[in-house]
Structure 1
Amino acid sequence: MEALTAGVSSRETTFMVVSAPAGYGKTCLLADWARGLTDEGVAVAWCDLDVDDRDPMVFWNSVLGSLRFAATDNDAAEFAVRSLEPGVDPLGHSEFFSRLAHAFELFGDKVVLVFDDTHLLEGSPSENEFLRLLRLVPPSVYVVFATRTSLLEQRTRLTNRVHELTADSLSFTRAEADALFGDDLDVDKLESLFVASEGWPAALSLARLGVDRSPSTLDAVISLFDSDVLHQYLQREVYADLSASDRATMHTLAVCPLITADLANAMSDGLDSANALRRLARNNPMLRRVSTDRSGRTWYRVQPLFGAFLREKVVELSPHALPRMIDRAARWHMEHADALVALQLALDAGDGDLVDTVLRRSGTELIGDGHASAIVALAASSSGRCLGGPFASLMLAWAAIAVGEVERAEDVAARVRPTGLGVDDLFEWDWLLYVVQVRIATARGERIDGLSSGWADSTMLTLPGCLRAAVHLARGLAETRIGITARATEELETSRAIAENLGDLSSQVMSAVGLAATALDRCDMRATLQHAEAAIDNASRSTTQDQSESLAYAHLLAAWSSHELLDDCAASSHAASAVDFAARQPLVDVQTQTKHAFQSIGFNGLPDKRRAAQDFTTAWPPPYLRGAPASAVVTSLHFGIRMSLTLGELRWSERLLDRARHLIGEGPDWHVAYALLLHATGRHSSARGILTPVLHASQGPRVLVSEIVAWSLESVLEHESGNAFRSHAAMNHALELADATGALAEVARPGADSVRAILARGLHRFGAHDEVAQQLMAHGRDVEPPTQGSSALTPKERELLAELKSLRTVGEISDDMLLSINTVKTHMRGIYRKLGVTSRRSAIAEAERLGLV
């Protein structure tokens, strides 16, 4: 109303076009607005146009009749209008326009001329008369016209005086739909109705009538639309205006709500669908141009309710045409556009053979592109018979694995049979079954050595490229999952090479993620970061594929490697991105793993450290460590111990070590973690007793992370014992391993302050590893709390500090430490002085804050 009224006060010649399909309330809007103007004393001439107005003489008589009605209270204007007669010859017609302009001036400051249904003039002689009127009216005339097409509006736009209201302006908003129905419709039904109608006023009004006629129990209402009324309305107001050729083009929209010219040609055997669609979109807003894809194809979208009407019309005109069109559309999408749309079409048609064909050809690509959830959802909403084909069943099992429904996948894989397949088809089916079995084993954390396709690996060369890449990728990820890094790297490199040749972006991304994981297992942090960043870069090139799972893993691996390389800013950023991408995909294990990484890297800054640590230690080991290599278990174990000790929860650390014994055994890795715990709690002698055999035994720690930690801890213990030479030698060994692997953060695990002191004392004597030493010395100084005099605590004072937290008396502590009571008290006074406190309770609190106990 405000947009319409703005033109009344304008001092320039302006036009307002209201352009929208049938049922958008154009006439209702203009009638209400004109009535309001009349009440305010504005002269309004309303001209209803019909087919007869295509004759110029009839058109001008309609215009003059509306002007005479508007001039009822203006004798001079009424007389001038009544004396007007349109001329037939050009000279007489020019005089008519001159006298018409004079009559307009007699109406006063402003006269409003409203035309309804001007689209009826299109292509007739009256259209030229109407356009001439628009060009010649004086500024005192405000012309408003309603049309179902945009042709007149496009021509008058050239005058730069046209304003417009479109279907978007006239559509109901969600709030307006709520107001229309009030409390008569529940929220879910109203939402479904609003989505189907897209705010189309006619559809919502018909639904409103359906509610009024329905019983009071709306839950029993099957449909709010009176289908007969809606059908008749669309037939009369929209479909009847289309030419035969335009109807043939529009019929293709009965199959696909989104269409392009190539697809329309494929379905209708047409050759000129591009021009037809362009014209229809311009003149009939029931069809809209929505986008242009990377191939240069222009896509158009039909209003959903009109699409349903067209489907009925196609069935009505030719019952056998619709299945044929669906088959053609599905095959075109499978070949040229969206395989997921092809699958949806095949399922809608109930064509099991077509579903099997689509999934056989495109299922691997769909699952790789992140559409596994969509496949599972489509399968749940369709007839079971449609997915009974041998290839369709296996692809459904594969999709179920991808969304975490392993039991469902196992059930499908156990029941599927290659019925009716020839030798070549059976060969491909066997390999597809093998991929599914490998994926199930990976999800279970099991080895795949006992699995076989029944065919030699050399036969894979005859497989379709995407399936061959999937076989190598599945094997590589399965072997990465259990730590067989050499074979995994070979399989993943092969998968990546095949994917690059095919242009298969999703397989390239996941292969890079797998290679990053194998590098992490080898403790090669620089290679891990390189592969992870390559995966992120490749995934970012896709705007249509859902790479959430791959990106979650890629950012997770980039976060760990950046953390180990002491790039805290990048590590935090990658960890946050990993959590974000994990939340967008359905696998709980991925979400849990990224959450733990985020908490580990940013533990000091967490708002609720205690809750995070308690949740972690209570549920440890998490499911993603099932069957995982020792390196992953050790890293997770150290994370848990660090959290527990930071919060002073010794029992949590002991619980973690007890559970870790069942995962990695009571071997060197376990003993290093135990020694780390003993040292952190002040039991230095016990820590040395555990660590020395591990370092000097013929077989050292299996995991490089443990070896770095072990040598760094040995250096700290020697430093605290006053043996500077041995401390320096051990630290040099730790730096050598850290420099070779990139796991720099592991050097500081026995205690950042102690390690920093050792590095400072031995700086410029570490040879080629001095640069690493300087990085470690600089790292964390700005973020870690100051330690006051904690670095000056003697070994006995540190051991006593751990005992102060217990409830034992000074006498009991002295007996346990084999010291006199006076000696214990002397040590306590030294602790208080160095920590800047005056009591036992304050000393414990300060020690906890500084991470000393």
Structure 2
Amino acid sequence: MAGTGKTVAISEWLRCAARSGSVSAIGWVSLSEEHNDIGVFWGSLLASLELPELPESAAHAAERPWKGAELIADSFARLDGSPLVVLDNVHAIYNPVVLAGLAHLLERLPGHATIVVSSRFRPAIPWHQLDLAGVLVRAGPEDLAFTRVEVQALLDASGVQVEDAELDLILEISSGWPAIVRMTAQLLAAAEDNSRALTSVVASGHSVISDFLAGELLSSVSTEHRDFLTLTAVPDEFDTALATELAGTSASRLLSEVLDLQFPFVSTRSDGDETYRYHPLMRAYLRSELVRALGSDGVRRIELRAGHWYLNLRTPVAAIRHLLASDDRYGLYRGLLDLGPKAVLGPDAGMFLKTLDEAPVEVADDPWVHLLRSIHGIECGAMADADAFLQAASGRPSAICPPDLFDRLHCAVTIDLRTRFGENVPVYALPAAVADHREIEAYVAVQQAKLMLPPIGHNRVKHQLLIAVSRADYARCPAPHLEALTLLALLDGAHDQFVSMGIRALAAVRAATAAGIGNNADVVRCVVMCRYFHFLTGTQAPEQVETSFALSTGADGMLTPLAGWDWHALSALVMFPDSECKSQAARDIAEATKAALASPGAHPLLAPTVPLAIQALIAAHEYELAQRIVQIATTILGHCPEFSVASAMIEIADGRVRHCPQLLDAALSHPALRLVGGIQAHILRAVVAADAGQDERVLGNLESAIALAEPQHLVHPFLSLDRAVPLLDAYVGRFGRHDAFVDRIRTRPDAVHLSTNIALTPAERRVLQHLASPQSTQEIADTLCVSVNTVKTHLRGIYLKLGATSRRDAISAARVAGLL
């Protein structure tokens, strides 16, 4: 590409190479039209290194490319040191004989010699063969493009001061193209107003830019090819199909010919198809040429063709952008009706609505557009904006959407918004479904499931949500698909099916990642649910599941958690074990919990997590704050059995256990007690019974807690409650079919045993593992392949460290200490 700084870069490199002595001889050949004669080409190559011309007998043979290449390679081989030749302007060579000779020379070049090929476009040489041979080093326009730092340095050297936003604009319009950056710096140095000068550059209306593009890149292009270039500059990018739509049936041939001319397209692959883009300034120049050639009406016709092509391809942003530019109201209305729901329920919703900012007032103010903006506001967590747009969409007909379809979507958006506000929504009788609107039906199915959530059975709600998942998947509509998966995970969590909740939440996170959905409340909820599952089961969350504290701006202008305070509190809770400052982390959990309790529509998952929040506060010795949280929760949500469990935790931690049995009995007899709360209550009853010396009650409550925890693999309640693990140690081996699960809890590295400072040697640990078996001392020695005296020595060390005098006492002490 012209103006990329090839010659300057090569010259500077040669200067450094000569200074370091890494090259012995340097030749430079500036190629031109005359070098399409192979004899002239070979002669210039030899002369550049002051090599003798080929003898007359060999000169005739050298007209054959492969023979000439051999002769030149032999001449190079006779040179000492490291000779180097620069072939500049190789794009001037079009004779296939000369190009074939150069290709043969590059293949046969001696190892101590180097040839640098400099060209605006890639010459027709089999580069892949040289690449496979490992002798090729490439440097393209992207390698020579200026970085942000280099652009700033050039502007500083030119005496030009720019703001950060102006520097960003220069980088955007130039893509680091050195010639354009240099010209822009010169224009800004001579201009009084940077903003006005940059506007001129962006429009490619400045004569300096236009002359460079026309003279350096377009002067050698035929009229037919130039027409093709101007027509395909209308869209942001194009492939063969779109080029055919815009430039006619000859587009495929013209594209191939332009590519053969090595025109500087930016080429990319998308879903297996090759797409092409112009440099921003080149595209702006070609579009200005198109306006001069066809006039404004002609350009609008091309825009309309592009818009309909994207409309049929169901690509919302590009379709609406071109339909707006075409000024065709019918096409624009059709695009907004057919593709609007797909756009706002997809990852490109923000870009789609930003495109609509350029729409005429009567289009932008249509109720259908307001309804689309309301959906986007809900998806982004901007509930105040969503409510305002919904109000603006109400009470008047739409010129874009038929009444029956508009009313159906309006009802669904109302349900969505009101349920997210935590309001009780009456059961709507939605208008009948309208065919050919898959995205709308997927969205409606999710909202219908929301209406069923409180009063209707678990299985019917799950069935409706699975229907919504199926419809969203069929419509390839990521937002309803994600929301339905999120609600399924929530439903499982609300019914204490934590394994299923974790699996569904992880599936939703992965689906959101695949769809390109990032800053979304449902994504945050699924991430937190996934982390909560791993928190309860004591397992490691996948790498892609990172706890998020995403924020959004509320109606009062204050930053609030994107998914709500209840999810923010749960997120802080699952991160508590990894926090460095437990005291501050506990206070943060308390503040988030208070905010969640005060917010409308707190999710049912919140009440069972209050005891977990109390545990965090107890761990930080914040007893008064913990008691205050329980009082606030009881005042706002009424009496929940989990709050009795939390109160019992506080009393036990504070050494006051008189009311604990009544609190725990009341909680366990309550039908609304959830699974985690039930496990905690049984563990706490075991602790109280242990203090009272009631051995059978201790074992009974531990068995009940384990029986509840094992099906869902919930180990956290045992690891987080003081004395739970020591009690398991004391009763180890007495849990029957649950022994394996108990051992899994006890042997975890984060399990806190009554005595964890007993340091046994590895050999003593091996002997101790066999001590609980029926084996005799001699049999243990035989199993370990050591002498019986060695085993006895280790036993003396074990007894001493455990304070035991017999094998039975040693086994009991080892279990209490968590060593067995």
The question of a shared fold, defined as TM-score above 0.5 by the shorter chain, is answered with yes
User: Could you say if the C-alpha distance between residues 484 and 393 of structure 1 is closer, same or farther in structure 2, counting changes exceeding 3 Å?
Assistant: farther
2:562 to 589, 606, 622: 589
Alignment of 1:803-818 (within 5 A): none
User: Could you say if the C-alpha distance between residues 371 and 592 of structure 1 is closer, same or farther in structure 2, counting changes exceeding 3 Å?
Assistant: farther
1:557 maps to which residue? 529
Asked if structure 1 preserves the Cα contact closer than 8 Å seen for 2:374 and 2:386, the reply is yes
User: Could you say if the C-alpha distance between residues 716 and 544 of structure 1 is closer, same or farther in structure 2, counting changes exceeding 3 Å?
Assistant: closer
User: Could you say if the C-alpha distance between residues 489 and 101 of structure 1 is closer, same or farther in structure 2, counting changes exceeding 3 Å?
Assistant: closer
1:172 maps to which residue? 146
User: 3-state DSSP class of the match of 2:219?
Assistant: helix
Asked if structure 1 preserves the Cα contact closer than 8 Å seen for 2:368 and 2:398, the reply is no
Q: CA deviation at 1:740?
A: 6.1
2:472 maps to which residue? 499
Mean Cα displacement is larger for which, 531-540 or 150-159?
150-159
| Matched residue type, 2:210 | H
Alignment of 1:179-218 (within 5 A): 179-182=153-156, 184=160, 185-215=162-192, 218=194
Asked if structure 1 preserves the Cα contact closer than 8 Å seen for 2:4 and 2:144, the reply is yes
| Matched residue type, 1:672 | V
Alignment of 1:513-524 (within 5 A): 513-524=486-497
Structure 1's unaligned 5+ residue stretches are: 1-20, 791-853
Structure 2's unaligned 5+ residue stretches are: 554-558, 758-820
Asked if structure 2 preserves the Cα contact closer than 8 Å seen for 1:548 and 1:581, the reply is no
1:675 maps to which residue? 648
Distance (Å, rounded) in 2 between the aligned partners of 1:484 and 1:669: 23
User: Could you say if the C-alpha distance between residues 714 and 32 of structure 1 is closer, same or farther in structure 2, counting changes exceeding 3 Å?
Assistant: closer
Asked if structure 1 preserves the Cα contact closer than 8 Å seen for 2:377 and 2:386, the reply is yes
Q: Does 1:609 align with 2:587?
A: no
Q: CA deviation at 1:306?
A: 0.7
Q: Does 1:579 align with 2:547?
A: yes
Q: Does 1:233 align with 2:212?
A: yes
Q: CA deviation at 1:742?
A: 5.8
User: 3-state DSSP class of the match of 1:722?
Assistant: coil
Distance (Å, rounded) in 2 between the aligned partners of 1:447 and 1:775: 44
Distance (Å, rounded) in 2 between the aligned partners of 1:432 and 1:417: 12
Q: Does 1:327 align with 2:311?
A: no
User: 3-state DSSP class of the match of 2:266?
Assistant: strand
Q: CA deviation at 1:268?
A: 2.6
| Matched residue type, 1:288 | V
Alignment of 1:115-194 (within 5 A): 116-122=88-94, 126-129=95-98, 131-132=100-101, 146-154=118-126, 165-182=139-156, 184=160, 185-194=162-171
User: Could you say if the C-alpha distance between residues 406 and 227 of structure 1 is closer, same or farther in structure 2, counting changes exceeding 3 Å?
Assistant: same
1:403 to 380, 386, 396: 380
Q: CA deviation at 1:746?
A: 4.5
Kindly provide the CA deviation profile for residues 354-395 of structure 1, in whole angstroms up to 9, marking residues without a partner as x: 555444333443444433444455456776555334433211
Q: Does 1:761 align with 2:731?
A: yes
1:826 maps to which residue? none
Kindly provide the CA deviation profile for residues 318-353 of structure 1, in whole angstroms up to 9, marking residues without a partner as x: 123332333333343344374333344445667666
Asked if structure 1 preserves the Cα contact closer than 8 Å seen for 2:569 and 2:593, the reply is no
2:500 maps to which residue? 527
Distance (Å, rounded) in 2 between the aligned partners of 1:536 and 1:283: 46
Q: CA deviation at 1:222?
A: 4.8
| Matched residue type, 1:620 | T
User: 3-state DSSP class of the match of 2:465?
Assistant: helix
User: 3-state DSSP class of the match of 1:258?
Assistant: coil
Alignment of 1:412-451 (within 5 A): 412-416=389-393, 425-449=402-426, 451=428
| Matched residue type, 2:750 | V
| Matched residue type, 1:167 | P
Q: Does 1:258 align with 2:225?
A: no
User: 3-state DSSP class of the match of 1:231?
Assistant: helix
Asked if structure 2 preserves the Cα contact closer than 8 Å seen for 1:625 and 1:633, the reply is no
| Matched residue type, 2:226 | R
User: 3-state DSSP class of the match of 1:530?
Assistant: helix
Q: CA deviation at 1:207?
A: 0.2
Distance (Å, rounded) in 1 between the aligned partners of 2:18 and 2:462: 82
User: Could you say if the C-alpha distance between residues 449 and 93 of structure 1 is closer, same or farther in structure 2, counting changes exceeding 3 Å?
Assistant: closer
Distance (Å, rounded) in 1 between the aligned partners of 2:73 and 2:646: 101
User: 3-state DSSP class of the match of 2:199?
Assistant: coil
Asked if structure 2 preserves the Cα contact closer than 8 Å seen for 1:524 and 1:742, the reply is no
Distance (Å, rounded) in 1 between the aligned partners of 2:665 and 2:582: 33
User: Could you say if the C-alpha distance between residues 86 and 509 of structure 1 is closer, same or farther in structure 2, counting changes exceeding 3 Å?
Assistant: same
2:286 to 310, 313, 316: 310
Kindly provide the CA deviation profile for residues 668-695 of structure 1, in whole angstroms up to 9, marking residues without a partner as x: 4433332332233222112234444454
Q: Does 1:25 align with 2:8?
A: no
User: 3-state DSSP class of the match of 1:447?
Assistant: coil
Distance (Å, rounded) in 1 between the aligned partners of 2:612 and 2:525: 19
User: 3-state DSSP class of the match of 1:569?
Assistant: coil
Asked if structure 2 preserves the Cα contact closer than 8 Å seen for 1:43 and 1:107, the reply is no
| Matched residue type, 1:579 | T
Q: CA deviation at 1:441?
A: 1.5
User: Could you say if the C-alpha distance between residues 35 and 462 of structure 1 is closer, same or farther in structure 2, counting changes exceeding 3 Å?
Assistant: closer
1:830 maps to which residue? none
Aligned length: 735
User: Could you say if the C-alpha distance between residues 543 and 754 of structure 1 is closer, same or farther in structure 2, counting changes exceeding 3 Å?
Assistant: closer
User: 3-state DSSP class of the match of 1:238?
Assistant: helix
Alignment of 1:692-841 (within 5 A): 692-696=665-669, 700-739=671-710, 745-746=716-717, 751-754=721-724, 757=727, 760-761=730-731, 764=734, 773=742, 775-776=744-745, 778=746, 780=748, 782-788=749-755
Mean Cα displacement is larger for which, 576-585 or 168-177?
576-585
Asked if structure 2 preserves the Cα contact closer than 8 Å seen for 1:375 and 1:396, the reply is no
Q: CA deviation at 1:22?
A: 2.1
Distance (Å, rounded) in 1 between the aligned partners of 2:337 and 2:74: 75
User: 3-state DSSP class of the match of 2:426?
Assistant: coil
User: Could you say if the C-alpha distance between residues 717 and 129 of structure 1 is closer, same or farther in structure 2, counting changes exceeding 3 Å?
Assistant: closer
| Matched residue type, 2:692 | S
User: Could you say if the C-alpha distance between residues 718 and 156 of structure 1 is closer, same or farther in structure 2, counting changes exceeding 3 Å?
Assistant: closer
2:32 maps to which residue? 49
Asked if structure 2 preserves the Cα contact closer than 8 Å seen for 1:253 and 1:307, the reply is no
User: 3-state DSSP class of the match of 2:170?
Assistant: helix
Asked if structure 2 preserves the Cα contact closer than 8 Å seen for 1:330 and 1:342, the reply is yes
Distance (Å, rounded) in 2 between the aligned partners of 1:615 and 1:728: 36
Distance (Å, rounded) in 1 between the aligned partners of 2:569 and 2:129: 60
Distance (Å, rounded) in 1 between the aligned partners of 2:597 and 2:240: 48
Kindly provide the CA deviation profile for residues 693-715 of structure 1, in whole angstroms up to 9, marking residues without a partner as x: 4545xx54454444443344334
Asked if structure 2 preserves the Cα contact closer than 8 Å seen for 1:260 and 1:299, the reply is yes
Mean Cα displacement is larger for which, 302-311 or 137-146?
137-146
Task: Identify the structure with bigger relative contact order (alpha carbons < 8 Å, sequence gap 6+).
Answer: 1
Asked if structure 2 preserves the Cα contact closer than 8 Å seen for 1:148 and 1:283, the reply is no
2:317 to 340, 365, 374: 340
Q: CA deviation at 1:450?
A: 5.5
Q: Does 1:277 align with 2:255?
A: yes
Asked if structure 1 preserves the Cα contact closer than 8 Å seen for 2:725 and 2:751, the reply is no
Distance (Å, rounded) in 2 between the aligned partners of 1:526 and 1:37: 65
User: Could you say if the C-alpha distance between residues 363 and 755 of structure 1 is closer, same or farther in structure 2, counting changes exceeding 3 Å?
Assistant: farther
Asked if structure 2 preserves the Cα contact closer than 8 Å seen for 1:728 and 1:762, the reply is no
Kindly provide the CA deviation profile for residues 110-162 of structure 1, in whole angstroms up to 9, marking residues without a partner as x: 9977665443442xxx5535654775799799765543332344489779777
User: Could you say if the C-alpha distance between residues 546 and 614 of structure 1 is closer, same or farther in structure 2, counting changes exceeding 3 Å?
Assistant: closer
| Matched residue type, 1:195 | E
Mean Cα displacement is larger for which, 638-647 or 218-227?
218-227
Distance (Å, rounded) in 2 between the aligned partners of 1:768 and 1:592: 41
| Matched residue type, 2:97 | N
Asked if structure 1 preserves the Cα contact closer than 8 Å seen for 2:238 and 2:276, the reply is yes
Distance (Å, rounded) in 1 between the aligned partners of 2:16 and 2:728: 89
User: Could you say if the C-alpha distance between residues 45 and 203 of structure 1 is closer, same or farther in structure 2, counting changes exceeding 3 Å?
Assistant: closer
Asked if structure 2 preserves the Cα contact closer than 8 Å seen for 1:472 and 1:495, the reply is yes
Distance (Å, rounded) in 1 between the aligned partners of 2:597 and 2:92: 68
